[in-house]
Amino acid sequence: MAVSRHRDQVRKGTNIPYVTHLLAVAALVGESGGGEEEVIAALLHDAVEDGGGSLLLEEIERQFGRTVAGIVEGCTEELQEIKSPWLERKKAFLMRLAGASLSVLRVTCADKLHNAHAVSRDLKVQGPAVFERFKGDRDGTLWYYRSLARFFGALVQDEPGLDPGFRTMIRELRETVAGLEG
């Protein structure tokens, strides 16, 4: 399902097949202690948001179960095809993370970590022009990643029983975001 939904997509500003992002996020989730349902959700985390909407979410639930569909829904900024303005959407998503399950948080952290790694890699090659591909431009994009890093950093403090692999992923996100700003 993930491959068929994203078959013709490439990563923003590149020729890299989008499916590589989904596979990388799934690997990060599995390597950080995520279970099978979280790995499946990681593969599907962008499908609903990228044009599948609520009908696709229902199909995911039929094929993979309520838990996977719930994780995918939790990772989805908006279900509607016409999206809210960028900043409004990002702020609302950050607010929703505060009440999200650990499964949603793990998949979201893996997604944001892989995205931040990609931006960091491209920044080294293309320089600051890399931020032109994002609606939030440089300042907005860095604000968003900084906000995510703070949120996940606070989670480490508030959740003493957090899986060590998840803690490591959060630390990597924070370090990568710090590198983007430097």
Q: What is the CATH number of the domain that holds 47?
A: 1.10.3210.10
Catalytic positions are 49-50
pLDDT digits (tens, 9 = 90+) for 139-172: 999 999 999 999 999 987 777 778 899 999 999 9
Token reading at 122: 């491209």
**Which residues form the domain of 39?**
2-181
pTM confidence score:
0.94
Domain count, the chain: 1
Overall average pLDDT of the 9-24 stretch:
88
- Number of helices and strands (H, E) in the chain? 9, 0
- Cα–Cα distances (Å) from 148 to 3, 59, 165, in that order, read 27, 30, 18
